[in-house]
Amino acid sequence: VKACPILYNSNDCRLEGKVALITGGASGIGESTARLFAKHGAKVVIADVQDDLGRSLAKTIQSETIQSDSTYVHCNVANEADVQNAVDTAVSMHGQLDIMYNNAGITGTYNTAISSLTRDDYDKVFDVNVYGTILGAKHAARMMAPRKRGCILFTSSMVSVSYGEVSHPYSASKSAVVGLAKNLCMKLERHGIRVNSISPDAILTPMSARATGLGDVRKVQEAVAPVANLKGVIVDANDVAHAALYLESDETRYVSGLNVVVDGGLCLNSLILGKQSRD
């Protein structure tokens, strides 16, 4: 990966001059998005709890992408002090925050029967997936509102619009994220802040490998390929990153309140794929 000015015409540097903070940015969707945003000229702040991966990625982006600037900050999104520090770090380093991508998330215990769930099962997922996104939006808006511009983006899931073989807390949390995005869209429009969300299908990431118990991304791909709705394509983190790039670029300067579903049309399929647990 080389510099935006080398790989693209100047008109194709779609995030040139912008500062982006990405939570959960050290791996999976966050990593792919950080790399792509940097290629398009953004200064990227990677926020995560995976310190070694995050620092390594920031150094790699810094060395491979000319005229870009990438840094890492430790951030547990369930801890407000961490989120505030991540936002403040981005602004202190670059003088502004243009893009807040609330991407960090966890799946919880996979496919546990509702009768077996505990309050702790829900709290762990909601602390990261819901409370963490609220904190991200809160502190991003604090910096964006005085400038009368900015973009806040959330990673939700296709289970927010359809059925999926996921944990009940995860499904509920991702529906909450879409609801939050819509509400914030209406509340922040007066400040010139756009708010959107992305709802992807199961993505080939280390998190999905752990959540399904398959343990390996290649095994997840083997499981997903036969049931993919759009044949011939296996969705991956780069597909979500490109959707994020579109939503955070000036090409969508009048797009707000949109939930972009990246699932190959699966949510429109009336057939439920896979064996559904009953309880």
**Among this protein's residues, is 170 annotated catalytic?**
yes
**How many other C-beta atoms are found inside a 10 Å radius of the C-beta of residue 160?**
22
- The full DSSP string for 115-184 is GG--HHHHHHHHIIIIIHHHHHHHHHHHHHGGGT-EEEEEE--GGGTS--SS-HHHHHHHHHHHHHHHHH
Cα separation of 61 and 38, whole Å?
7
193-200 and 150-155 beta bridge pairing: parallel
Cα separation of 113 and 210, whole Å?
18
Give the active site residue among 72, 122, 131, 170: 170
**Among this protein's residues, is 70 annotated catalytic?**
no
Dihedral of the alpha carbons of 203, 232, 40, 18, in degrees to the nearest 10 = -40
Give the active site residue among 72, 174, 197, 208: 174
Helix (H) or strand (E) holding 33: helix 28-39
Give the active site residue among 157, 171, 173, 199: 157
**Among this protein's residues, is 157 annotated catalytic?**
yes
Catalytically active residues are: 157, 170, 174
